[in-house]
Chain A
């Protein structure tokens, strides 16, 4: 078993420091009696290295590992949230400098493994995939009324079957 804690620093408006008295979330592994490691969650190579080591341990039958990947919630919690009510712009700006995608790109370009052309092509491809996923979602028909009932039990009890019939009668199949 591999536990990955994505520590993005904020639970809506409450900062990590107010969530627990420990210095790190990796320390929680001590109470569970398992090795734990804190990595820079915005460093894709560090995360890969930590995960590889932990998986190797697990696959060798040596037990679980906890990885705390330290990152940052750059966006609002939801579309209904307004993070400017409770955190400083300066903090968010600083976090953007550690944004993992930009960091990885800069690293790859420096290493000669990536170019602006590839980046543009990749972005276009990603946009296409996202647009397609949105289109697929919007095209997904609403489930039939019976779907409210169909997955409640292996076998639908009689009284629930009667409720299903009533719902179908009111709202259609």
Chain B
């Protein structure tokens, strides 16, 4: 495959990254429910089985615990499995395998066995899906020592971060914000260039307040920054991108300049990743904060069904109110 610029959506970024790496590294295997003949329910693996064959793009039984376990075994023996869990709501059976084995294989064997696998799953709400199809539980995995957690929010970051996740020598949970799977298109160089897994991305420079978000909520956060500009408030927007490890340095540097911070995420508030960022600011950036930070998050409830889901998801209006709150606090 020659290096070329392609117009990609976020899900195209995923597909192209998988195709690139499979073409260039024979140890990369895709597996999951409906990923083969069907190309995945969101078409993330479309065309891969045709191109790379049934030995490398495997339709698995409907058993998530087994998908994770199989991947761990493959990874320990030198393959690089990329497993798809069809929806994040189906990911919970994998937790036993991910926590008890994937996350600690290197540690348990004193480095003799490792687990270079990727567990991919579309996540988040806003697509009118039924129960169990809309959750954002990235914090569950971020809490587990030994796992990395990555969430892209643009086609280019989906492409570059997934390549990095596959090449990473340790297990990575790669969560894809399905609400924005096909929202934006951009030109992405299909050249196999990865992006680092330990930096966040400043999407917009600002001087008055730092907005930190990730996943699909980046959309509303950027919209809020536009609205704030019209109000004369200059908002810096940071896409966290790697949920674990968190690049606190970039956030601290930004808040050091702006003195204010609003954290936006779709997941429930309590023990969400926003709390970890807030703790990091309290530990290392307390003196820079001019006002208390504010979290704009999903509520501590079950994600409601589709007619109610807009009331759950953080809105631009709530982000603006949070910014005004922190601007007026001091």
Contacts and interface: CB of A to CB of B under 8 A. Distances in A.
Contacts of B39: 85
Interface stretch (A9-17, A45-53, A62-70, A112-120): A9-17
B307 A170 contact: no
A148 B33 contact: no
Interface string A66-94: 00000000000000110001100000000
B311 A18 contact: no
Contacts, number: 68
Interface string B116-133: 000000000000000000
Given A170-B317, A170-B318, A14 B300 contact: no
A13 B37 contact: yes
Nearest to A140: B307
B304 interface: yes
B183 interface: no
B299 interface: yes
B301 interface: yes
B33 A12 contact: yes
B315 interface: yes
A152 interface: yes
A149 B61 contact: no
A149 B301 CA distance: 6
Interface stretch (A25-33, A36-44, A127-135, A159-167): A159-167
Nearest to A15: B59
A14 B311 contact: no
Interface string B282-305: 000000000000000001111010
A111 interface: no
A167 B268 CA distance: 13
B59 A13 contact: yes
Contacts of B315: 170
B38 interface: yes
14 contacts: A14-B62, A86-B37, A86-B38, A142-B307, A143-B308, A147-B304, A148-B301, A148-B311, A148-B312, A159-B270, A163-B269, A163-B301, A167-B311, A170-B315
6 tightest Cβ-Cβ pairs between the two chains A and B = A13-B38, A86-B37, A171-B311, A19-B61, A13-B34, A11-B62
